[in-house]
Chain A
Amino acid sequence: MDLILEVEGLHVDLPLPAGRLQAVRNVGFELRQGETLSLVGESGCGKSLTALALMGLLPPRASCRASKLFFEGCNLSTASEKTMAQLRGDRMAMIFQEPMTSLNPCYTIGNQLVEAYRQHREASRREARERAVFLLEKVGITAAGSRLKQFPHQLSGGIRQRIMIAMGLMCGPSLIIADEPTTALDVTIQAQILALLADLQQEFRMGLILITHDLGVVARMAHRLCVMYCGQVVETGTTREVFARPLHPYTQGLLRCIPVPGKVEPGSDLGSIPGLVPTPIGELRGCMFRNRCPKALPECAVEDHRLREIGPGRALRCLDAAAADA
C-alpha cells in the first residue's frame, strides 16, 4: 500500500488578545492508500484544525508550519494557493459536520454537485450530470435523477450528508477527511452513514482520515488512531492495540469513561477524568495532562515530552516508566 500522506512537526497558531494560542503542536502521522486513520480527542484538542491545515483552509489569522507535509509527493507547506485549490476537491476532499448548513440554499443539488467536477475535469454538463447520478446512487439515494433538481432545504439531514459524501467523491480523490461526519445526525442514521463511508473507501481505495470524539466510531471504522490532547498527539497505534492495552493515562481515562454493560457493576460510579483542559497559551513546558493524571510525577512538569516510538507504528508521549518498558 502506498503512502499518500506524510505529516511531521505540524504546528498551528492562533493569535488571541491574551496571547498566541498554540492550537496544534508537533503533530505527525502517516496515511496509506485504503487505510482509515482516526484523530480522536475531545472538543478543542486541535483535531479539526489539523484537518483544515492539511486542506489549506485555516482561518486567515491562523499561521501554520510543518517540517514535513507531503501529499502524494506534493509538498503542501510550500504549495501556492493556486496549487492547493487545484488539489482540493480533486485529489483531497473534506466532509464536514453540519450537513444542514453546508449546502448553498440558493442552488439545486445538481448544480452544486457538478460545479467542481466541471472545473477540475473540464467535463461537459452531460458527463458531469451522469457522474453525479452515478455517485448519488452509490451513496444510496433513490430517484437520483430527480434529486438533482431539488434544493437543499427540501431534504433531510441524513440525505444531505450523503450528498456531501457524493460531492466529495465526484472527482475521485485519494484522500477523504471526514470531520465528525455523523455527530449532527440521528443515531440510526449514524450507523448507515458510517457503513457507507467504509464501503466507499474499500471500493475506491481511498485514504480516510476520520475525526471524531466518539470512541465507538473509532472502534468500528479505524485501522489506526491518534489520540490527541491539548493540541498534541499523545498516543498512536492500531485500533486493536490501543483499545486492548491503552498506555497513556488520558487514553486509559477515556476508555474507562465508556460504560460497558456486563463489565460495570450496576450502581457504581461512571468513569470520568477529573479536572479541566488547560489552554495552551504562553510558555508551555512539560506534560499538558499532568494536572489530571493519576500517575503524575514531579518530572512531568519540567521535562520536554517527546512522542517516543515504543514499537512498530506504536508511539507514546508519556514518562510513565512502567508503560514504556512493557
Chain B
Amino acid sequence: MTASDRSPRSPEETGLGLEVVFPSPRQIMQRAMLRHKGFLIGLAVIAAVALLTILAPVLAPHDPYAQDLGRRLIPPVWQDKGTWDHPLGTDNLGRDYLSRLIYGSRVSLLIGISVMLIAGLIGTTLGLLAGYFGGRMDMFVSFLITVRLALPAVLVAVAVVSLIGGSMRVVILVLGFLVWDRFAVVIRASTQQIRPQEYVAAAKSAGCSTLRILAQEILPNLMNNLIVVATLEVARAILLEAALSFLGMGVQPPTPSWGLMISEGKEFMLFYPYLVTIPGVALFLLLLGFNLFGDGIRDVTAPEGR
C-alpha cells in the first residue's frame, strides 16, 4: 500500500481543481506575531521607553540633577497644589520628578542590556560547551550552574557592592557575572536537543571544525530560544538593579535610578505616596513590556513552552 504524505497539497498537484491555498511556515509565523497582542504591546512599550532614553535631553523639562529646596515635595499635577511646571511633582530635594523619571530610563535600559550581554556571553558559552560536548564537560558546567543557583544572588551582590562601592560599572559587572544561569540552562538544553540532529552529523562527517559547527549549525537553530531568554533576562537585570539601588547598594545618588527614587521616596511615602508609586509604575510597565515581548516571541516560535 502506498504511504500517504500528510502535509496539505496544492490543488494543482492533486489535479482536482480545489480552490485552497496553504501559507508557508514563515508567513504563518509572521502573521502570528502581528496578531499576538502581548508581543505587540511589549514591542510598543520597549520602543516607547527606548525613545524616551534616546530623546531624554529633548523630552525632559528640567535638569534631573537640579535641586531647588524652595520647591520641595510638590505633588503631581492631578493632585491639588500640583502644577504643570512639574507634571509629576518634585522630590524632597526639589528635583523635577518627570525629568528624573525620563533619565532613570537610561539607567534601567543601559544596565539591563549590558548585564544581559555579559551574562548572555558567559551563559551561552557554558551552555554550548555543556550541551555539545556532554560527558565531563557537561558534568562540570552543570556543577557550576548548581553552585551558582545555590548562592543567594541578591545577598552576594549586595555584599560585594558594599565592599567595592556602588556605581553603574560595578553593578553591571557584578550582576553580569552573577545572572548567567538561565542562559546556561536554556542553551544547554537546546543544544542537547539540536546536537543529535542529522545535519550536525552531516557537517561533522564533512570535516567541519567544532567551532564552525557550533557557529553555523547549532547557533542559528538556538536563536529563537536565545532571543526569548535574552529578553526575559533584560527584564530580570532591570529588576535586580532596581532592587540593589533600592537597598542602597546599586547606582549611587544623585544618579536617577528608579529603584533609588523609590528608596529615597520611602521616607516620605506615608504622606507623599506618589514619590513611590510613580517610579514603581514606570518600572512595572517596562518590566511588563519586556516580559510580554519575550513571551510573545516564545508563543509564536514554540507555543508548547507556555
Closest to B13 in A: A276
| Residue among A42, A282, A288, A291 making CB contact with B2, cutoff 8 Å | A42
Tell me whether A277 and B18 are in contact (CB under 8 A): no
User: Size range of the interface on A?
Assistant: 20 to 34
Which residues from B are CB-within-8-Å of A276? 4-5, 9, 13-14
Q: Check A290 for interface membership: any CB of B closer than 8 A.
A: yes
Contact A291 B1, CB 8 Å, known A44-B6, A279-B20:
no
Interface residues of B in 1-60 (CB under 8 A from A): 1-6, 8-9, 13-23, 28
Q: Check A19 for interface membership: any CB of B closer than 8 A.
A: yes
Say how far A183's CB is from chain B's closest CB, in angstroms: 13
| Residue among A18, A42, A288 making CB contact with B1, cutoff 8 Å | A42
Say how far A280's CB is from chain B's closest CB, in angstroms: 9
Which residues from A are CB-within-8-Å of B21? 18
Could you give 23 example pairs across A and B, Cβ below 8 Å? A17-B23, A42-B1, A42-B2, A42-B4, A44-B4, A213-B1, A254-B1, A257-B1, A275-B15, A276-B4, A276-B14, A277-B4, A277-B5, A278-B14, A278-B16, A279-B14, A279-B18, A279-B20, A282-B18, A282-B20, A283-B19, A291-B15, A301-B17
Kindly supply a per-residue 1/0 record for chain A positions 231-249, scoring 1 wherever the CB is within 8 Å of any chain B CB and 0 otherwise: 0000000000000000000
Tell me whether A18 and B8 are in contact (CB under 8 A): yes
Which residues from B are CB-within-8-Å of A18? 8, 20-23
Q: CA–CA, A19 to B11, complex, Å?
A: 14
Interface centre among B2, B5, B8 (most CB of A within 10 A): B2
Q: Check A43 for interface membership: any CB of B closer than 8 A.
A: yes
Q: CA–CA, A275 to B3, complex, Å?
A: 11
Say how far B73's CB is from chain A's closest CB, in angstroms: 57
Contact A284 B18, CB 8 Å, known A42-B1, A254-B1:
yes
Which residues from B are CB-within-8-Å of A278? 9, 14, 16, 18
A43-B3, A279-B9, A281-B8 given. 13 additional CB < 8 A pairs?
A18-B8, A18-B20, A18-B21, A18-B23, A42-B2, A42-B4, A215-B1, A276-B9, A279-B8, A281-B18, A282-B18, A283-B18, A290-B16
Q: Check A101 for interface membership: any CB of B closer than 8 A.
A: no
Q: Check A75 for interface membership: any CB of B closer than 8 A.
A: no
Which residues from B are CB-within-8-Å of A279? 8-9, 14, 18, 20
Interface centre among B9, B14, B16, B18 (most CB of A within 10 A): B16
Interface residues of A in 193-238 (CB under 8 A from B): 213, 215
Interface of A is mostly: loop
Q: CA–CA, A254 to B19, complex, Å?
A: 29
Contact A19 B20, CB 8 Å, known A42-B1, A42-B2, A277-B4:
yes
Say how far A237's CB is from chain B's closest CB, in angstroms: 19
Interface residues of B in 271-296 (CB under 8 A from A): none
Closest to B15 in A: A291
Q: CA–CA, A213 to B17, complex, Å?
A: 28
Q: Check A272 for interface membership: any CB of B closer than 8 A.
A: yes
Say how far A291's CB is from chain B's closest CB, in angstroms: 4
Nearest 10 Cβ contacts at the A-B interface:
A291-B15, A278-B14, A277-B4, A279-B8, A42-B4, A257-B1, A273-B2, A272-B2, A281-B20, A278-B16
Q: CA–CA, A276 to B13, complex, Å?
A: 8
Kindly supply a per-residue 1/0 record for chain B positions 134-159, scoring 1 wherever the CB is within 8 Å of any chain A CB and 0 otherwise: 00000000000000000000000000
Say how far B251's CB is from chain A's closest CB, in angstroms: 49
Kindly supply a per-residue 1/0 record for chain A positions 14-34, scoring 1 wherever the CB is within 8 Å of any chain B CB and 0 otherwise: 000111000000000000000
Q: CA–CA, A278 to B13, complex, Å?
A: 9
Closest to B28 in A: A17
Q: CA–CA, A215 to B9, complex, Å?
A: 27
Tell me whether A275 and B14 are in contact (CB under 8 A): yes
Q: CA–CA, A281 to B20, complex, Å?
A: 7
Closest to B9 in A: A276
Tell me whether B8 and A291 are in contact (CB under 8 A): no
Closest to A288 in B: B16
Which residues from B are CB-within-8-Å of A19? 20
Which residues from B are CB-within-8-Å of A258? 1
Q: CA–CA, A245 to B20, complex, Å?
A: 37
Q: CA–CA, A44 to B1, complex, Å?
A: 13
Which residues from B are CB-within-8-Å of A291? 14-16
Say how far A304's CB is from chain B's closest CB, in angstroms: 15
Closest to A45 in B: B4
Which residues from A are CB-within-8-Å of B23? 17-18
Q: CA–CA, A298 to B17, complex, Å?
A: 13
Tell me whether B6 and A43 are in contact (CB under 8 A): yes
Q: CA–CA, A290 to B14, complex, Å?
A: 10
Tell me whether B16 and A257 are in contact (CB under 8 A): no
Which residues from B are CB-within-8-Å of A277? 4-5
Which residues from A are CB-within-8-Å of B6? 43-44
Q: CA–CA, A214 to B237, complex, Å?
A: 59
Kindly supply a per-residue 1/0 record for chain A positions 300-312, scoring 1 wherever the CB is within 8 Å of any chain B CB and 0 otherwise: 0100000000000
Say how far A48's CB is from chain B's closest CB, in angstroms: 13
Say how far A40's CB is from chain B's closest CB, in angstroms: 10
Which residues from B are CB-within-8-Å of A273? 2
Closest to B1 in A: A257
Q: CA–CA, A283 to B21, complex, Å?
A: 13
Tell me whether A282 and B4 are in contact (CB under 8 A): no
Which residues from B are CB-within-8-Å of A288? 16
Q: CA–CA, A213 to B9, complex, Å?
A: 22
Q: CA–CA, A42 to B4, complex, Å?
A: 7
Closest to B5 in A: A276
Tell me whether B18 and A257 are in contact (CB under 8 A): no
Which residues from B are CB-within-8-Å of A43? 3-4, 6
